A and B are shown apart, each in its own frame.
Chain A
Amino acid sequence: MKPVLQVENIEKYYGNKGNLTKAVDRISFQVEPGEFIGIMGASGSGKTTLLNCISTIDRVTSGHILIDGMDVTKLKGKHLSKFRREQLGFIFQDFNLLDTLTAYENIALALTIMKVPAKEINERVKSIAERLMITEVLEKYPYQMSGGQKQRVASARAIVSNPSLILADEPTGALDSKSARMLLDSLDTMNVEMNATILMVTHDAFTASYCKRILFIKDGKIFNELIRGQDSRKQFFDRIIEVVTLLGGDSTNVF
């Protein structure tokens, strides 16, 4: 099967000649359809820069990123926006829902900017809402919802347009543990039942344990890779903690 995402040798430099920072330093990897991949790393490791490059929000210094066979590093202007709305779905740490729109309208927004006919919008929004168990909040405004509900609405917005790839940036970052668990269950549903390909950036080991594969990044380079395989989530979690410890994320081995 053709990979959904191919990252080929990308680099992203910041600064000028005298003071160069390599935020992403020659990273390559592939994501197959239906994968749920996590990217872990400490603050400043370059994981958010990597995500921004993949999501076409930022531009790479060199290298190629192919999504569904299309080289996104060469897209510009209108085509870039078109590509983003058709091929990508976003989930942000701070939800980024529009406070003037109801939950229903926030989800529908992803479709209206694709100019999907109004009739179809209703069906698609309703069916997604049912699967993510947010039907009862559809007519509410963001300020009337809990954090977990908001993030599930944001997830619904990300998947409703049937994107090739869903990009999630610390989706549990602003949630309490119960809401985080419910959200991760929802992501799992999206991945397993709706066959969505999800790429999630996180620094939380528990959140990462929901993934099928995890890439660890340190100082802009891939440091390690873990594949869940047949492990239970608890076993996978323990293995993640080991790597995190090794990475120095939790400060045991930094000396």
Chain B
Amino acid sequence: MYSKIALSNVKKSVRDYTIYFLTLTFGICLFYMFNSIHSQQAVLKINEDQRGMMELLQMMISGISIFIAVILGLLIVYANQFLMKRRHKEMGIYLLLGMEKKQVSKILVIETLFIGIFALIAGLAAGIFLSQGLAVLTAKMFVVKMKEFQFVFSMSAFGQTILYFAVIFLIVMIFNGISISKCKLIDLLNSAKKNQKLKVKNLWLSFILFVISIACIGTAYHFIKNNGMMQIDTEFKMSILLGIVGTFLFFLSLSGFLLRLAKSNKTFYYRGLNMFILRQINSKITTTFVSMTMLCLMMFLAISAFATGMGMAATVKGNLSETTLFDYSFYKYNYRNYKAEKGEESDSMFLLKQLEKDGIDISSHAKNITPIDIYFQPNSKDSYMTIRPFLSGREELSAFPKKQIEEAKDMPLVYIKLSDYNRFLKNVGKKQLKLAENEYAVSCNYDNIEEVYKDAVKDQQKLILDGKTMKPYKNILSYGYMNSPSQMDAGTLIVNDKVIENMKLGVYTNYLSINWKDSEKGYSEKLDKQLKSIYGKNSSKKKAPYNTAVSKRGVYEQSAGLSTIITYIAIYIGTVFLITCAAVLALQQLSENADNIPKYRMLRKIGADSRMIRGSIKAQIIIYFLIPLSLALVHSYVGITTASNVISTLGHMNIADAVIKSLITVLVVYGGYMIATYAGSKSMLK
């Protein structure tokens, strides 16, 4: 009998439940989809390294899933409390008819169970269906081919989803049971009539609080800009703390402040239903500023995660053709002082000899080999040996925060011999560089510092090297002279060989880059295996003569994998947060409007026409949705611009594209919920 009542209740309140139900279904669907990524390996043609990437992705997703489950759990608990409140009278009648509280809560438990099971089934079905599409997307992002089509089903994701949501629903049931057992019958029956007690707030108090909140937020922005998100120090922590406090005070005081502002414009305030709309919103925000603050912060996280994630994904993937001019590169970090006799160990070609001595044949497969030695003067007192002359006075041109620029000024300048550089240019098919005796050239392609060097070249920045005054070559060079995952040449000077020899410089790094013969383009893969078997963990433990090996293929695969991981995580977190926020706002507005039906009836009686009433509902919904979003957008703007500096340490970042993508997503999701809320509210009036 109870399940019959419960089922008919669910049917009756379908309208109240629709948005909640859809959100829940979508959440479960996403949850399953992202957790099932692991099993997509079955249909993708991937190699060992890419499998590792998939494992990493899976690991991160399952970690994040716990967090996501908590967020969705909170949504469910909150929405449930909300929907219960709307039905206090119904429960009161059950109790009045002589049902025991236990029996009433049994009805509620069964109802929750019904909704939960329906949502779970629908969500899983949608998830299983959509994860087929996700597999195609993964294949595209990993740049791999798919094996023949095969239905992807992940038992572990399936089980995990059911387990997590079963726990959540169990908690909700307990909550409901407790809340009903605490209620008094008289309160239940009268709950519809209860007026919210309005807090009459002082004009000056809300004004002062508003000013304080703006000051807090401003200071938080200032701190985070200074800190640049580069390290977690007091400034960073203060910024977060002040941001939260400021946001809280903002919503606490905003409505009072806005109301006074609107009231001061009498023609606006006393026109049509404006007065009513503003008062409604004011009363709503003064009672929900805590959840407003939470929603705003969550939306801020969602938007930031989404935009920076997308930006990062694009950055990681971008410009690879310019950073991988070779098929293969070896790095060796030397950091050695100058030695009078030309030590073989400081020579890049020595690296090649050692490799071949260990039985790795490179020369016979190579079309050309490009050794480059990077020189520097360690711990030099001479400021011309550091970046200082370039950075001084041009601090503003770099996107780095001031503190870091100051630290960077004492970093040593690094040099390449002109002969090495010209060999490199020849091997990659570029035009040769010619320098006069008193000229130096700058090579740089690192986004955050490039402008500094460009400006220095334009200014004819002088340097005194080897006792001679040197002027810069007319252009800046931006070729990557070794393979790297991103553009990270933060400034290298190319000078005539004689200058370097005379200055008695130490060796910083050796690069050895190789292009294979046209007939042996796939040799990188073989070399990878060979290196692994000789120097790898499980081998005879020979010490590798190099520090890092970077193949073109590896860079491409890693970038694609990394970019996929970041994109997926950004979408996962961003979407779940966003729909959760939008759903809470929608539920709040729907239940608010349901409570307000008598008010609208009264307005209609005293002569407000349907258009005016519909307009007032629309205005309330739009304003109520936009208030937390607007502040979240401002927060995000600051967050994203700061974060983009960090990201640009990985390479050139096209943040605008990512921001536009995330803005469109936010608008579509948010707009959808807004329209659904309006449609729901409108139908209540009929």
Cα distance A119–B271 in the bound complex, in angstroms: 11
Which listed residue, A78, A99, A119, A157, touches B606 by the CB 8 Å rule?
A157
Which residues of chain A come closer than 8 Å to B605, judged between CB atoms?
A: 55, 57, 84, 90, 92, 96
- Closest-by-CB residue of A relative to B265 is A118
Q: Are A141 and B200 in contact (CB under 8 A)?
A: yes
Which residues of chain A come closer than 8 Å to B269, judged between CB atoms?
A: 118
- Give the residues from 130 to 161 in chain A that come closer than 8 angstroms, CB to CB, to chain B: 141-143, 157
Which residues of chain A come closer than 8 Å to B603, judged between CB atoms?
A: 109, 113
Q: With A57-B605, A98-B279 in contact, do A113 and B610 touch (Cβ < 8 Å)?
A: no
Q: With A100-B279, A143-B197 in contact, do A110 and B602 touch (Cβ < 8 Å)?
A: no
Which residues of chain B come closer than 8 Å to A111, judged between CB atoms?
A: 270
Q: Is A115 an interface residue (CB 8 A)?
A: yes
Q: With A100-B279, A112-B272 in contact, do A77 and B198 touch (Cβ < 8 Å)?
A: no
Q: Are B271 and A100 in contact (CB under 8 A)?
A: no
Interface string of B582-617 (1 = CB under 8 A from A): 000000000000000011001111111111100000
Number of interface residues of B (CB under 8 A): 32
Q: Are A98 and B599 in contact (CB under 8 A)?
A: yes
Cα distance A253–B276 in the bound complex, in angstroms: 50
Q: Are B612 and A112 in contact (CB under 8 A)?
A: no
Cα distance A84–B606 in the bound complex, in angstroms: 6
Q: Are B270 and A121 in contact (CB under 8 A)?
A: yes
Q: Are A85 and B276 in contact (CB under 8 A)?
A: no
Q: With A112-B270, A141-B198, A143-B197 in contact, do A78 and B609 touch (Cβ < 8 Å)?
A: yes
Q: Is B40 an interface residue (CB 8 A)?
A: no
Q: Are A101 and B606 in contact (CB under 8 A)?
A: no
Q: Are B610 and A77 in contact (CB under 8 A)?
A: yes
Which residues of chain A come closer than 8 Å to B272, judged between CB atoms?
A: 112-113, 115
Cα distance A88–B605 in the bound complex, in angstroms: 9
Interface string of A226-249 (1 = CB under 8 A from B): 000000000000000000000000
Which listed residue, B198, B271, B604, B606, touches A115 by the CB 8 Å rule?
B271
Cα distance A108–B269 in the bound complex, in angstroms: 11
Which residues of chain A come closer than 8 Å to B267, judged between CB atoms?
A: 117-118
Q: Are A99 and B274 in contact (CB under 8 A)?
A: no
Which listed residue, B266, B598, B599, B607, touches A88 by the CB 8 Å rule?
B607
Q: Are A81 and B610 in contact (CB under 8 A)?
A: yes
Q: Are A100 and B606 in contact (CB under 8 A)?
A: no
Q: Are B607 and A118 in contact (CB under 8 A)?
A: no
Q: Are A101 and B611 in contact (CB under 8 A)?
A: no
Interface string of B178-204 (1 = CB under 8 A from A): 000000000000000001111010000
- Closest-by-CB residue of B relative to A140 is B200
Q: Are B611 and A82 in contact (CB under 8 A)?
A: no
- Closest-by-CB residue of A relative to B611 is A78
Cα distance A86–B244 in the bound complex, in angstroms: 50
Which residues of chain A come closer than 8 Å to B611, judged between CB atoms?
A: 78
Q: Are A100 and B607 in contact (CB under 8 A)?
A: no
Q: Is B275 an interface residue (CB 8 A)?
A: yes
- Closest-by-CB residue of A relative to B198 is A141
- Given A112-B270, A143-B195, output 6 extra A-B contacts at Cβ < 8 Å: A84-B605, A100-B280, A100-B282, A109-B273, A112-B272, A118-B266
